[in-house]
Amino acid sequence: MPTTNSPNTLREGPNENGHFGIFGGRYVAETLMPLILDVEDAWKTAKSDPMFWSELEYYRKHYIGRPSPLYFASRLTDHFQGAKLYFKRDELNHTGAHKINNVMGQALIARRMGKTKIIAETGAGQHGVATATACALFNLECEVFMGAEDVIRQKPNVDRMRLLGAKVHSVTSGSATLKDAMNEALRYWVSKADTHFYIIGTVAGPHPYPQMVRDFQCVIGEETKEQMFEAEGKLPDTLVACIGGGSNAIGLFHPFLDDDVEIIGVEAAGLGINTQQHAASLTGGRPGVLHGNRTYLLQDNDGQITEAHSISAGLDYPGIGPEHSWLFETGRIEYVSATDNEALEAFALCSKLEGIIPALEPSHALAYIKNIISPLPKDHIIVMNMCGRGDKDLEAVIPRLEEMDLL
């Protein structure tokens, strides 16, 4: 348990074996073990090296464009007539989402390890684009594994990756989506151990990835805390973020875990939790072992992993980061869900009222906020992580909004 040393903090996990309570761990083939032990060593060394952090800080400021603003969404606040709503504007980062926060950190570690080639998996393509971007910047070879289904659905991102010099592998095995892209990336990594570094895009995978990715994403919450004190002179009352694997959410939430702040994670309910066509691992799944860690998974009675469904490709994953599973079971964070249609409505509303076209992923967070915000008092402050911008989603969204008479 991460709480053994200081019972008053929820921020110490994982333990030395990468476990958050019963979740997390290193459930990988022996062929992969030396690789992840190497990554862990490099990460430990980097973490305690001020030079590493100052280098990362340089790229955060001058390349990513951090700190991202904390923006008071005044028109939505007026519209809802309830609590005050702020957006943490991580969609303004270079490449348009929070993914680059993590990629930049891992790319610097890969460089320190002397690796010249990078592997990544991607679903919607945002992590793939961020990785291809960092590889272009650092002159690293980049290979991105993407499910064949997603290659078709997310063509603009495939083109971006190619333009940035990355090779995109279209994965046809299994169900040809994100989980299979991750399987394939892990398989490929085993055969290229000497030269390649695997940049995992979310807070999942074997230890140390869930911890390392979280630590790189925590910049979101740390900035928010500071900016909120500046704007309002106090902590926010409620934090809300969407959850697929859960990296943007943990980045916002983690710095607040020990504070008196309500925290809500929003999973993708797809066509509805009771339809089986959803991606809500916590709400609709149960613990299991996949991709190197124990966590909540969508699976059948025999322990076979089932398909996730969400209109948002970035949330379309049958698992969730192990730390979220732990925080779910401890009850520290409340996990809820929003459907495809609710997310689409929020997508349209935010575009119209704030002039911000949100990605479908944070549209789920806003959709849930819509349900709770109005009865709350006017001095109640909600911060939502606007973790990505919606340009990538237009092709999927426009026909649906027309159908729904929202456009």
Partner 1 sequence: MKTYKEDRLKLLFENLKKEKRGGLGIFIAASDPNLEISLEILKRLPQAGADMIELGMPFSDPMADGPTIQAASLRALKAGGSLKRTLEMVKNFREGDNKTPLVLMGYYNPIYNFGVKNFLNKAIEAGVDGLIIVDLPPEEDEELCLPAQKYNLPFIRLTAPTSDGERLPTILNNASGFIYYVSIMGITGTQSIATQNVQNAVKELKKHTSLPIAVGFGIKTRQDVADVTSFSDAAIVGSAIVNVIEQSLDSNGEGSDKTIADAMALVRDLAAGVKSKKTA
Q: How far is CA 172 from CA 36, 125, 168, 213, 308, in A?
A: 26, 16, 13, 27, 17
Q: How far is the CB of 42 from partner 1 (least distance, A)?
A: 16
| Cβ–Cβ < 8 Å for 60, 66 | yes
Q: Which is nearer to partner 1, 273 or 289 (CB)?
A: 289
Question: CB 387 → partner 1: shortest distance, Å?
Answer: 27
Cβ at position 190, least distance to partner 1 in Å: 6
Here the tokens at position 94 are: 């270079």
Q: In 3-state terms, what secondary structure has residue 319?
A: coil
* Choice between 28 and 85, CB closer to partner 1: 28
Q: Which of 141, 137, 132 is nearest to 62 (CA)?
A: 137
Q: Which is nearer to partner 1, 84 or 207 (CB)?
A: 207
Q: Considering beta carbons, is residue 30 or 260 the nearer one to partner 1?
A: 30
Q: Which CA distances in Å does 46 have to 57, 67, 254, 273?
A: 13, 22, 20, 42
Place of tokens 């309570």: 21
> Rounded to the nearest whole angstrom, what is the least distance from the CB of residue 291 to partner 1 in the complex?
7
* Neighbouring C-alpha atoms within 13 Å toward the C-beta of 143: 18
Q: How many CB atoms lie within 10 A of CB 31?
A: 13
Strands 23-27 and 19-20, bridge-based pairing: antiparallel
Between residues 153 and 196, which has the closer beta carbon with respect to partner 1?
A: 196
- CA angle at 226 for the pair 224 and 231, rounded to the nearest 5°: 85
Q: How far is the CB of 132 from partner 1 (least distance, A)?
A: 24
By three-state DSSP, how is residue 196 classified?
A: strand
State in angstroms the smallest separation of the CB of 186 from partner 1: 5
In which residue are the tokens 């989980």 written?
Answer: 179
| Closer residue to partner 1, CB minimum distance, 142 or 185 | 185
State the minimum distance, in angstroms, from the CB of residue 192 to partner 1: 8
At 94, the amino acid letter reads: H
CB of 298 to partner 1, least distance (A): 11
CB nearer to partner 1: pick between 260 and 302: 302
Tokens of 320: 């969730």
Q: Would you tell me the crossing angle of helices 209-217 and 33-47 to the nearest 10 degrees?
A: 30
Give the bridge partners for 293, in sequence order.
290
| Residue with Cβ nearer partner 1 (8 or 17) | 17
Report how far Cα 61 is from the mean position of its chain's Cα atoms: 21
Nearer to partner 1, 25 or 265 (CB): 25
Is 156 within 8 Å of 393 (Cβ atoms)? Answer: no
State the burial class of residue 216 (Cβ atoms within 10 Å of its Cβ: 0-12, 13-18, 19+).
buried
| Residue 259 backbone zone (phi > 0: left; psi -120 to 50: alpha; other: beta) | beta
Binding residues for partner 1, per CB under 8 A? 17, 25-31, 33-35, 173-174, 179-180, 183, 186-187, 190-191, 193, 287-292, 294, 297, 299, 301-306
CB of 303 to partner 1, least distance (A): 3
169 vs 179 by CB, closer to partner 1? 179
CB of 305 to partner 1, least distance (A): 5
